[in-house]
DNA sequence: TACTGTCGTGCAACCGGTTACACGTCAAGA
DNA sequence: TCTTGACGTGTAACCGGTTGCACGACAGTA
């Protein structure tokens, strides 16, 4: 390539990386020759000499969980726009595999977006100290992170139910270890107290359809006239449980889901709390690329560590599974 | 590293790549030193000198479409097991972006799994000629591919309906350009003819909930007592459309979906055709790695081009949305 | 004892770029 | 006319491994 164009390899290199250093005619000429020869800078060689891989990784507990694809999609899209490729890691919900994956990806990427990590805080913190890392939905001090603040949406949900006339609602919990679950539960309890209505909590459930279906009996027994579920999957399960009993939605029970996953694709359309999860993916990548930049500069002197913590708001999307409590005022 | 262990860099290299060439004591010693120093072979440097990147890519039209995550998940898992990382590409259903992505990934991966490609045959074929490539759900002669043969499941579905007593069924089409759709439609028509029942087809629909809902009127007007939908999303839409009209499933209409995506997570649980799509992901990666190997050997002489074409079977999963035609025998 | 082959390891070139430094050219300023 | 500096480009070392070839040691064979 260099010889064909009659220049040195250094010049060819500069044409593609620092063209402003060269005379414009040189740049044009080399590019022409390159186009004819189909020459493209060798990515791996670039990576080796610059130390920048042009690759990030997105690590999630389970790709098949419908919560994650939008995040991944947005992350990949944004990374691609910035010239980065995206490696995908699936930890299979297993912390050991997650740690393993992190170690492997460490040397193959410029940085990692770690979604809903199950790893202990100090492990994550240690990793973040020497490699660019951004968390999604995990709140660890000292580590860059973007959190989906479902609390706002949950408060709206409670308000919505209170305004419809519900006096007793229940929160159907997700996994205890989940940061989101803790946040949502607290928000339900606090906002209910603020509105002067009763709120109870139904034990921990795995975020699965069957768990929701199984929870139905307990919900009905509690006397609540409305349920806020940890996520849409559980909410759908509750709908199934109600249908099996021949009970009507929302007359016999108002149901609110969370995450707005598929919620509009079922009947009746599920009232849910939409958190802008795809925005979380985009934002996380944005922050990560920022860190990657900073680290490159930090080598040159300044070490301007910041601790960004972005919280994305959420809001209630009222659809057809909520209404005034009609038949089941059994308590009174 | 080399100096600390008192050996040459060549020896260090051999310890990690061709240990059988060395005295065992040397291997042990170097590995010990490496462990102490936390030394790990530099992945990019290895890639540069060997030409093997240890990375494959999986390219899909839309990660958020629930059909793909299981494929991706299986592909990633299998690749990881073989020591390969997985790059993810989302073409956003756009052929131009797909072509662009392919060009970019070409130099960053050892091979590509291309799922449900929208590219013209010759473009794909050209790409496959000089780089390892495996297609999923696209049938192009001369290119390695794994196909989900939904025809078998569709035939079972038709049989199932015929046995329940349905005399007139309808197929609710997906996108015309989809290979799967063509396959499914033909299977419905052929098997219906074989069973001596009437089958009609409802025009092309995008694989979306609303499309299914909108199709409901047409379905009812057709006089069919059962519908087989291109996919579960459309099927769910039909369920919504029926519910909106106050009609009962399966009494007023039997509905069968396809792909077994989320089908069990709704109420009533959807009768559907399960194709082992995650197996498709695994198999595609297996074939791809095979091609990668072969190519490495081919350089050394033999060029043993094969043309593998794997078809995975499918089968009907009867659940609650199918039953005998009860009320709507309006035709008679 | 001399000869040959095997084994284990080192030397150095190479993968394909990047970049610090040096050099030559040319125009502006003294 | 000589100096000075900006500009454009080449030289060569370097990124961190891999690998063909060579070499020394040692064992087996004649």
A100-115 pLDDT per residue, tens: 999 999 999 999 999 9
Q: What are phi and psi of B107, to 5 degrees?
A: -90, 0
Distance CA A103, CA B101 (A): 27
Q: Spell out the domains of chain A, with CATH numbers in brackets.
A: 1-32 (no CATH), 52-149+277-311 (3.40.50.2300), 151-275+316-331 (3.40.50.2300)
Going by the DSSP 8-state scheme, the letter that residue B89 receives in this structure is E
Contact residues for A197 (Cβ-Cβ < 8 A; gap 6+): A158, A161, A162, A166, A167, A168, A169
Mean pLDDT within A7-33: 95
Residue B55 · residue B110 · CB < 8 Å: yes
- Separation in Å: D21 C1' and A26 CA: 41
Dist. CA B190–CA A205, nearest whole Å:
46
Work out if A298's Cβ lies within 7 angstroms of strand C: no
Nearest to B257 by CA among B243, B237, B278, B281: B237
Q: Determine the Cα–Cα distance for residues B104 and B90; give it in Å rounded to an integer.
A: 13
Question: How would DSSP label each residue in A223-291?
Answer: T-SEEEESSHHHHHHHHHHHHHTT--TTTT-EEEEES-SSGGGSSSPPEEEEE-HHHHHHHHHHHHHHH
Are the Cβ atoms of B236 and A77 closer than 8 angstroms?
A: no
Average the pLDDT over B175-182 and give the result.
85
Residue nearest to nucleotide D10 (CA to C1'): A8
What pLDDT band is residue A130 in, cutting at 50, 70 and 90?
A: confident
pLDDT value at residue A303:
45
Q: Do B44 and A40 touch (CB under 8 A)?
A: no
Which residues in chain A are closer than 8 Å to B77, comparing Cβ atoms? 90, 92
**How much is the pLDDT for A3?**
82
Q: Which nucleotides of D are covered by protein (CB under 7 A)?
A: 7-12, 14-20
Q: Is A85 close to B63, i.e. CB distance below 8 A?
A: no
Whether CB of B3 is under 7 Å from strand C: the answer is no
The enclosing H or E element of B319 equals none
Cβ-based contacts of A101 with chain B (< 8 Å)? 80
Out of A53, A108, A266, the one facing B266 most closely (by C-beta) is A266
User: Cβ-count burial of B130 within 10 angstroms (0-12 exposed, 13-18 middle, 19+ buried)?
Assistant: exposed
CB-CB contact of A162 with A198 (8 Å): no
The answer to whether the predicted template modeling score (pTM) of the entire model surpasses 0.85 is yes
| Residues B55, B56, B62, B63, CA torsion sign | negative
Q: How far is CA A107 from the centre of its chain?
A: 24
Per-residue pLDDT, averaged over A247-254, amounts to 95
Structure tokens at A248: 């009507």
**Minimum distance, in Å, between the CA of residue A120 and any CA atom of chain B:** 22
Show residues of chain B in contact with A87, CB under 8 Å: 55, 85-88
Q: Residues A285, A237: contact at Cβ < 8 Å?
A: no
Mean pLDDT, chain B, whole residue set:
91
> In chain B, which residues have their Cβ closer than 8 Å to the Cβ of A58?
88
Which tokens is A301 given?
């002197």
Nearest residue in chain B measured CA to CA from A102: B85
Straight-line distance from CA A41 to C1' D12, in Å?
Answer: 20
Cβ–Cβ of A43/B108 closer than 8 Å? yes
Please tell me the distance from the alpha carbon of residue B244 to that of residue B217, in angstroms, as a whole number.
Answer: 11
| pLDDT at site B305 | 53
Please name the nucleotide lying closest to A27, CA to C1'. Answer: D8
**How confident is the model at residue A273, as a pLDDT?**
96
Residue of chain A whose Cα is closest to the Cα of B101: A80
Interface contact A69-B55, CB threshold 8 A: no
Looking up tokens 């205890």, which residue turns up?
A: A176
Q: What angle do CA B301, B20, B294 make, to 5 degrees?
A: 25
**A159 pLDDT more than 60:** yes
Mean pLDDT of A279-298: 89
Residue A87 is predicted with a pLDDT of 97
Helices (H) and strands (E) in chain B, counts: 12, 12
Query: Which stretch of DSSP H or E encloses residue A317?
Result: strand A314-317
> Residues B110, B116, B117, B122: what is their CA dihedral angle, to the nearest 10 degrees?
90
Rounded Cα–Cα distance for residues A323 and A303 (Å):
55
The partner residues of B256 in beta bridges, in order of sequence, read B228, B271
- CA B11 → C1' C3, Å? 30
Is the confidence at residue A306, as pLDDT, over 70? no
Confidence of residue A25 (pLDDT cuts 50, 70, 90): very high
Q: What percent of chain A shows pLDDT beyond 90?
A: 80
**pLDDT score of B102 more than 70:** yes
Which of chain A's residues have a Cβ under 8 Å away from the Cβ of B108?
43, 55, 85
- Which nucleotide is nearest to A17 if distance is taken from CA to C1'? C18
Q: How many Å apart are CA B288 and CA A240, to the nearest integer?
A: 42
CB-nearest to B48 from A44, A68, A105 is: A44
The residue to which tokens 């989101």 are assigned = A180
B1: closest CA of chain A, how far (Å) = 17
- Our CA-based measurement puts residue B196 at a distance from the nearest CA of chain A, in whole angstroms, of 34
* pLDDT interval class at A263 (50, 70, 90): low
* Angstrom distance (rounded) from CA B136 to CA B153: 18
- Which two tokens mark B107? 């130099």
**Nucleotides in chain C with any atom closer than 7 Å to protein CB:** 7-12, 14-20
Are residues B69 and A70, on separate chains, in Cβ contact within 8 Å? no
- CA-closest candidate to residue A87, choices B79, B222, B224: B79
Segment B225-244 mean pLDDT: 94
B253-302, pLDDT tens digit by residue? 999 999 998 767 788 899 999 988 899 999 999 999 999 988 776 544 44
Starting at the earlier edge strand, list the strands of the sheet with B226-229.
Answer: B198-202, B168-172, B226-229, B254-258, B271-275, B314-317
- A-B C-beta contacts closer than 8 Å: 113
């Amino acid at each position: 390539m260099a010889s064909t164009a009659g220049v040195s390899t250094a010049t060819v290199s500069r044409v593609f990386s620092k063209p402003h250093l060269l005379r414009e005619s040189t740049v044009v000429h080399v590019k022409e020759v390159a186009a004819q020869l189909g020459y493209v800078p060798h990515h791996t060689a670039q990576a080796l000499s610059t130390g920048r891989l042009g690759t990030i990784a997105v690590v999630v507990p389970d790709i098949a969980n419908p919560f994650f694809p939008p995040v991944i999609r947005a992350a990949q899209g944004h990374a691609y726009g910035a010239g980065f490729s995206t490696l995908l890691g699936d930890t299979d919900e297993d912390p050991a595999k997650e740690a393993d994956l992190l170690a492997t990806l460490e040397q193959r990427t410029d940085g990692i977006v770690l979604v809903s990590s199950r790893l202990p805080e100090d492990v994550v913190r240690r990793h973040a100290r020497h490699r660019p890392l951004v968390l999604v939905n995990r709140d660890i001090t000292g580590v860059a992170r973007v959190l989906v603040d479902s609390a706002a949406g949950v408060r709206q949900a409670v308000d919505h139910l209170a305004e419809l006339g519900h006096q007793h609602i229940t929160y159907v919990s997700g996994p205890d270890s989940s940061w989101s679950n803790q946040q949502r539960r607290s928000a339900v309890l606090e906002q209910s107290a603020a509105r002067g209505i009763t709120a109870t909590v139904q034990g921990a459930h795995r975020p699965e359809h069957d768990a929701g279906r199984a929870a139905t009996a307990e919900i009905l027994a509690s006397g609540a006239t409305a349920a806020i579920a940890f996520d849409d999957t559980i909410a759908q399960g509750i709908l199934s449980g109600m249908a099996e009993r021949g009970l009507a939605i929302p007359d016999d029970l108002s149901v609110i889901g969370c995450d707005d996953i598929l919620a509009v694709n079922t009947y009746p359309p599920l009232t849910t709390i939409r958190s802008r999860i795809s925005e979380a993916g985009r934002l996380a990548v944005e922050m990560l690329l920022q860190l990657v930049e900073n680290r490159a500069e930090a080598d040159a002197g300044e070490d301007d560590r910041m601790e960004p913590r972005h919280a994305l708001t959420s809001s209630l999307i009222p659809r057809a599974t909520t209404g005034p409590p009609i038949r089941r005022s059994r308590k009174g």
